[in-house]
Chains A and B, each alone.
Chain A
Amino acid sequence: MSRRAGVFAAVWPPLLVVVILLVLWELVVVLFSIPEYLLPTPIAVGRTMIEQWPRLIAATGRTATATLAGFAASAVLGVVAGSLLSLVPLARRGIYPLTLLLQMVPLVAIAPMLVIWFGIGLPSVIVAACIVSIFPVIAGTLDGLQSVDAGLEEIFRIHRVGRIRTWWKLGLPWSIPSVITGLRIAAGLAVIGAIVGEFVGAYGGQHAPLGAIITSALKQNQTSTVFAAIAMASALGFLLFGLVNLGGWILLRRWHASAQ
């Protein structure tokens, strides 16, 4: 199968499901005469997207900036933290269970605190995106480093290679597949973190990002705008997920079964 045919084969089933769901959605709203402020039709959402395209695309750009910065921070800090936890057993036993707090604390509850600590605007949104998305990266890195093949480790031990050098030459490359898995999960979470962060921590008006557009549209019962912003945020999530997949494929395609 050619690459183009392969891509088509992968894309058409979910695309078909989306089309069916949109048609059903349209029918339900029309048949049951649901008012637009409760649930707009997909066509109404599409119309809003076209009408507000410049504003939406600019907002998506702002949210993308925060998402990418938060995601990059969680990728770097997550790999560093996972590596440190792997290298220092005491820290692993003491700190790793506590990192679960990053998963459990509701972001909506701490987002206002982030605004107090980092001020309104980009920094607090970036921190929100990072907090929500860092745990899968830490877990993926740690899992990868903990599962290094014992036989390969022995080769490094025989040559009396230090732990840091063994981490660099063996542990880190070995962990790439599980780090990529963590980053895939983190990609979606970073978008969620940025949007929630923007609910409370972003400027509105001309320079509003998607999260701020959603909150202001909700207040004004502009439900189709809310849905249009959600669609843009979803597209952003898909794009980031796709970029992670592409990066993973480039790194792993020659030697790991998951990318072949």
Chain B
Amino acid sequence: MSGVEIELRGVTKTFDRSVEAVAPMDLDLRPGRVTALLGPTGCGKSTLLRMIGGVETPTAGSVAVRPKPRIGFCFQEPRLLPWRNVLRNVGLPLELDGRPRDVCRREAQRRLEMVRLGDAAELLPAALSGGMRMRAAVARSLVADPDLLLLDEPFGALDEVTRFRLDEEVATLVREQSITVVLVTHSISEAVFLADEVVVLSPRPARIIERYEIPFGERVASLRGTEEFARLQASIYACLRGGMMEDER
């Protein structure tokens, strides 16, 4: 369950033969760890994530994910089917895999309890707040017991308080289950809070500027107030800003 290893070799992605989203890139991600791909908006980090998830094929190079994982994907938007209640939305990945209905319901309910949405199972997405919808989307991404979880700026559209709370929930969930996680974000504090390693990317086309090991163990809310957290944030900010300034020159 914790053994997914990701290896990118000379990976590039060019759209419409002219828009280079990802410059040739080598990247190794170790199993059972949370890696944040951090970069400015539009730098190609989501494209990188989608290539890891197999949704996008690289223009050149290779992406190896070993062993073949069960992937959970959580997007920038909740992407819930509006005609299905929350329970059936969360159970959708299992249903699409052909699992029996009672298993889908049971597992979906269990994941809903995990994200504190147990009481909302029978509601339609329209009846939920933005934060609740995102929590349902997180529950859906975890329902099939993924060994690789890909998070594409999942809480980018939420207010900061809700976002912090969801970050804390996700940090606990993925560490409890030792899932390999790749998180795409443009929030430095989110990257430092959630990840074991932060990979800082340049503006488009994405290339690696720097990699930071994050030394924290347990991720609790109080971590954000520590000196070490602020120091790491400042250091990553300087790196990111340097990359952007260089690009502007």
Contact = CB atoms under 8 A, between A and B. Distances in A.
A159 B97 contact: yes
B55 A173 contact: no
A161 B81 contact: no
Interface residues of A, number: 18
Given A161-B96, A254-B124, A255-B124, A152 B79 contact: yes
17 contacts: A149-B79, A151-B77, A151-B79, A154-B55, A154-B75, A156-B96, A157-B55, A158-B53, A158-B55, A158-B71, A159-B93, A173-B81, A254-B124, A255-B83, A255-B124, A255-B126, A256-B82
B75 A158 contact: no
Interface of B: 53-55, 71, 73, 75, 77, 79, 81-83, 92-93, 96-97, 124-126
A156 B92 CA distance: 9
Interface of A: 149, 151-152, 154-159, 161, 165, 169-170, 173, 176, 254-256
Given A159-B97, A254-B83, 9 more contacts: A151-B77, A154-B75, A155-B79, A156-B96, A158-B53, A158-B55, A169-B96, A254-B126, A255-B124
A165 B53 CA distance: 22
Contacts of A161: 96
A127 B126 CA distance: 41
A19 to B, nearest CB: 40
Contact of A152 (B73, B81, B124): B81
A157 to B, nearest CB: 7
Contacts of A158: 53-55, 71, 73
Contacts of A154: 55, 75, 79
A256 B79 CA distance: 15
Contacts of A176: 83
B92 A155 contact: yes
A170 B92 CA distance: 11
B83 A173 contact: yes
A255 B71 CA distance: 29
A159 B96 contact: yes
Contacts of B124: 254-255
A231 to B, nearest CB: 39
- Top-9 shortest CB links A-B: A159-B96, A255-B82, A151-B79, A255-B83, A173-B83, A161-B96, A255-B124, A158-B73, A254-B124
Nearest to B94: A159
Contacts of A254: 83, 124, 126
